[in-house]
Amino acid sequence: MTGSLLPVYETLQLEVINVLESLGRLRESPDYELCRITEQKPGVLDELAAERAELLDKESAELEEQANRLADEIEELGGEQPTRIS
C-alpha cells in the first residue's frame, strides 16, 4: 500500500470497528429485542400495552383502597376527617 492510502485504510478500519461495536450494543438493548418481537408477531405491542394497563388499573385500585383504609384509621385516631387526595 502506498503511504497516502494508509491513513485512509486505518480510518476505515476504525470506523468499521466502531460500527460493529455499536451494532453489538444495539442488539443487547431491550428496545432491539422488542423490535424483533414486534416484527415476528404483529400486534404483540398492543397486547403488552393492554396487559400493562390492566396491571396499572389493578394497582391503582389497591392503592386507593389502602388510602381509604388509612384515612379511616387517621380519622379514628385523630377524631378529624383527613383531607383526601383526588
**Is 44 within 8 Å of 38 (Cβ atoms)?**
yes
Overall pTM > 0.75: no
Sorted by sequence, the CB contacts under 8 Å of residue 75 that are 6+ apart come out as 81, 82
Task: Report d(CA 7, CA 14) in Å as an integer.
Answer: 11
Exposed, middle or buried: residue 18 (CB in 10 Å: 0-12, 13-18, 19+)?
exposed
Q: Which amino acid is at 78?
A: G
Query: What residue segments make up the domains of the chain, in order of their start?
Result: 1-41, 43-86
55-67 residue pLDDT tens: 999 999 999 999 9
21-42 residue pLDDT tens: 999 999 999 889 888 888 999 8
